[in-house]
Amino acid sequence: MPEARGDIREIVGQPVFVPLYKLFLVYGKIFRLSFGPKSFVIISDPAYAKQILLTNADKYSKGLLSEILDFVMGTGLIPADGEIWKARRRAVVPALHRKYVMSMVDMFGDCAAHGASATLDKYAASGASLDMENFFSRLGLDIIGKAVFNYDFDSLAHDDPVIQAVYTLLREAEHRSTAPIAYWNIPGIEFVVPRQKRCQEALALVNECLDGLIDKCKKLVEEEDAEFGEEFLSERDPSILHFLVASGDEISSKQLRDDLMTMLIAGHETTAAVLTWTLYLLAQHPEAAAAIRKEVDELLEDRKPGVEDLKALKMTTRVINEAMRLYPQPPVLIRRALQDDHFDQFTVPAGSDLFISVWNLHRSPKLWDEPDKFKPERFGPLDGPIPNEVTENFAYLPFGGGRRKCIGDQFALFEAVVALAMLMRRYEFNLDESKGTVGMTTGATIHTTNGLNMFVRRRDLSAVPPPSTRVAAAASAGYAFASVVTPAAPSVVPPPTPAGGGCPFHATPGTPVPGRP
């Protein structure tokens, strides 16, 4: 197998997937990269990725990832392997069934509307630029908090110790995922290194909050059992936690906590990063931004997208699909070989750590025409299927593939489509170049280096042409609309969600939203 001699200085200080891309162009679709005693096999080929994720999936574990995430996710779905993973996957997947996700679409719209009134309108009025990466991170946290345990962080309007603790844990998980040594295994480190101490305190706070929510939910389910017998889909608490508690599985509170923490982390920063990079791309491609606005103006005007609108928001969806190609979250998938495996003439021995570089697959000049260019039309007619690992034969892995594929893919795509459609309808976004380049850094997802600072302006909707003339304009916009649907419901601006937030077990008065978390 080709051996790439890595100079650690080339990797330190830049997002790891960037040097891996340069090495891929030199060494090809499979190569070994060694740093001192550490060695990784880098995979950048769709057939090999399919073999690891699908056909030979039982020969691989999460390896390094489980070790890194153990402190925060325990035996949650992402780090779990073997029988525990099988049992939890069987239990958790039904909680994200399409029907259930559909019932959340309204909540996505409420959260986006609340973000608009709590934050964007204020920045639009003041004329100051806003870090949209921070905004999307908070929007993602509010949405996932409600979906997973019916808890209103309301991080868009205020801050509290639990929100800060969640961010401390996220940053620690990301730091560990890029650290050259497993410093967290050094005995007693949490007593001497201040960051480790803060991490332990944050973990204790979030765990206590989650335990409180689990207890509250269990009590509610008992009451409902008394009231409704076998019925476990609750109008009082439509969360994933309620589904898991009420579905009657014998499950320990520790396992439930690991599941919740996994979904909180997996479903938060990923979607936030997708929206961040989508908006970044749209700022540089005004023609695509205009095409989304035409679609939204025609279909929704000022109402929240409903379930029935999702299929029709084709251009909005396609732009997000293309943004996920250019900025995959996470950019690298990690596996460990449990047995020897063979890739053409090369053998990967048991015990090897593998990185499937999704970044390389998504930007491979062998797989994509002008791979670095933003071209939403590359996936074919808007009426065609939504691209995924199957339609693109593992050259496109926005949500992974095979049996460890993301369980929140539909949830996340609907969330991103609803949020983007609503924001593009109401606002124009322009980069604040005085804040420097956006830049990329990596943790579990791709972050900006300096924030996505943007000027936010309310759109002048009086200038939007009436529907009849818009259809003709859309046809000449460069992006073809497959169909233009007339709004079925009257235009209604949703009322902002009342401010809530603060863990009920650690309630503190709200404080204004600060800068980057």
- Find the binding residues for ligand HEM in span 80-119 (CB under 6 A): 89
Of 40 and 123, which has the nearer Cβ to ligand HEM? 40
Q: Which of 263, 281, 288, 513 binds ligand HEM (CB under 6 A)?
A: 263
Angle at alpha carbon of residue 353, lines to 349 and 358, rounded to 5°: 120
Of 270 and 352, which has the nearer Cβ to ligand HEM? 270
* Smallest distance, ligand HEM to C-beta of residue 389, A: 10
Q: Which of 15, 267, 387, 443 binds ligand HEM (CB under 6 A)?
A: 267
Q: Token pair for residue 347?
A: 């053998």
Contact 73, 210 (CB under 8 A): no
Of 119 and 270, which has the nearer Cβ to ligand HEM? 270
In angstroms, rounded to a whole number, what is the distance separating the alpha carbons of residues 382 and 482?
6
Size of the site for ligand HEM (CB under 6 A): 21
The DSSP H or E segment spanning 362 is helix 358-362
- Find the binding residues for ligand HEM in span 398-437 (CB under 6 A): 398-400, 404, 406-408, 411-412
In angstroms, rounded to a whole number, what is the distance separating the alpha carbons of residues 514 and 156?
10
In angstroms, rounded to a whole number, what is the distance separating the alpha carbons of residues 481 and 497?
33
Angle at alpha carbon of residue 324, lines to 2 and 301, rounded to 5°: 170
Helix (H, G, I), strand (E, B) or coil at 183: helix
Annotated binding-site residue? 406: yes
* Smallest distance, ligand HEM to C-beta of residue 358, A: 7
What percent of the chain is helix, strand and coil (3-state, nearest 5)?
A: 50, 10, 35
Contact 242, 53 (CB under 8 A): no
In angstroms, rounded to a whole number, what is the distance separating the alpha carbons of residues 238 and 231?
12
Of 408 and 443, which has the nearer Cβ to ligand HEM? 408
Contact 400, 389 (CB under 8 A): yes
Distances, alpha carbon 294 to alpha carbons 209, 263, 290, in Å: 43, 34, 6
Which own/partner pairs from 252-258 qualify as long-range (CB within 8 Å, at least 24 positions apart)? 253/211, 253/214, 254/74, 255/74, 255/75, 255/88, 256/214, 257/74, 257/207, 257/210, 257/211, 257/214, 258/73, 258/74, 258/75, 258/76
* Smallest distance, ligand HEM to C-beta of residue 263, A: 4
Contact 411, 105 (CB under 8 A): no
* Smallest distance, ligand HEM to C-beta of residue 185, A: 22
Buried/exposed code over 59-72 (b: 16+ C-beta within 10 A; e: otherwise): bbbbbbbbebbebb
* Smallest distance, ligand HEM to C-beta of residue 119, A: 21
* 266 contributes a contact to ligand HEM by CB under 6 A: yes
* 68 contributes a contact to ligand HEM by CB under 6 A: no
Q: Which of 44, 51, 270, 316 binds ligand HEM (CB under 6 A)?
A: 270
* Smallest distance, ligand HEM to C-beta of residue 147, A: 6
* 497 contributes a contact to ligand HEM by CB under 6 A: no
Stretches 9-17, 117-125, 386-394, 395-403: which one binds ligand HEM (CB under 6 A)?
Answer: 395-403
* Smallest distance, ligand HEM to C-beta of residue 416, A: 6
Stretches 224-232, 342-350, 394-402, 484-492: which one binds ligand HEM (CB under 6 A)?
Answer: 394-402
* Smallest distance, ligand HEM to C-beta of residue 309, A: 19
Q: Which residue has the tokens 């934050």?
A: 119
Q: Which residue in the shown chain puts its C-beta closest to ligand HEM?
A: 408
Q: Which of 73, 78, 111, 367 binds ligand HEM (CB under 6 A)?
A: 78
Of 199 and 272, which has the nearer Cβ to ligand HEM? 272
Binding mask 308-347 for ligand HEM (x = CB under 6 A): ---------------------x---x--------------
DSSP code of 122?
Answer: H
Of 332 and 454, which has the nearer Cβ to ligand HEM? 332
Q: Token pair for residue 406?
A: 């993301």
* Smallest distance, ligand HEM to C-beta of residue 38, A: 20
> Residue numbers of the site for ligand HEM (CB under 6 A)?
77-78, 89, 262-263, 266-267, 270-271, 274, 329, 333, 398-400, 404, 406-408, 411-412
Residue ranges of the binding site for heme: 406
